[in-house]
Chains A and B, each alone.
Chain A
Amino acid sequence: DTGVSQDPRHKITKRGQNVTFRCDPISEHNRLYWYRQTLGQGPEFLTYFQNEAQLEKSRLLSDRFSAERPKGSFSTLEIQRTEQGDSAMYLCASSWTWDRADNEQFFGPGTRLTVL
């Protein structure tokens, strides 16, 4: 396994269109996280899954955003009716974590979204 992968790496879309991103975590990892990073800022937490259950969602995750991890492996993040403010780098990370242990989160390379 070569790490966390994300697809696509770049996405350009027009305002109002829907987009979907995919994240493939490291295979044995049970937790999967989504972050958003805008230029000059650090990553902002969006949501995370433990196996297939979505356990936390940030207030940043508006109703237009939805994330799934149907079989506890890969995850998708969909943005409906995109807005220019959605332009950002979307990062995925995964970890093998139990209880509240602070195990390392391994990050993918990100998907850069540009909304025109």
Chain B
Amino acid sequence: GNSVTQMEGPVTLSEEAFLTINCTYTATGYPSLFWYVQYPGEGLQLLLKATKADDKGSNKGFEATYRKETTSFHLEKGSVQVSDSAVYFCALRGSDTGNQFYFGTGTSLTVIP
């Protein structure tokens, strides 16, 4: 079946630190992979996506590369800001599951000045 496993949080970093949030997946076929972000008091927003192996999604300084060989889609940012404090969700859409999205449990990030 399809599933997503995210590193557990919460994660606390100092401003300008390097961020990695691990995400691995299990899927049949060739899924598309996503990172969504939820800022405090707001709804989920798409952060970035990758639709095939070796694709790199990027947005707002965040990057993630679709690694089929390791079934991973780790989120990285070189220098986090206080405004990046949010909950980050890794998600996949399976190639054989219609339009169902499978989300990870979310990783809470707090960036302190």
Contacts and interface: CB of A to CB of B under 8 A. Distances in A.
B112 to A, nearest CB: 22
A27 interface: no
Nearest to A6: B43
Prevailing SS type, chain B contact patch: strand
A21 interface: no
A109 B99 contact: no
Contacts of B98: 55-56
Interface residues of A, number: 26
A42 B43 contact: no
Interface residues of B, number: 24
A35 B98 CA distance: 15
Interface of A: 3-4, 31, 33, 35, 40-45, 48, 55-56, 58, 91, 93, 97, 102, 104-110
B42 interface: yes
Given A91-B43, A108-B43, A110-B43, A48 B99 contact: yes
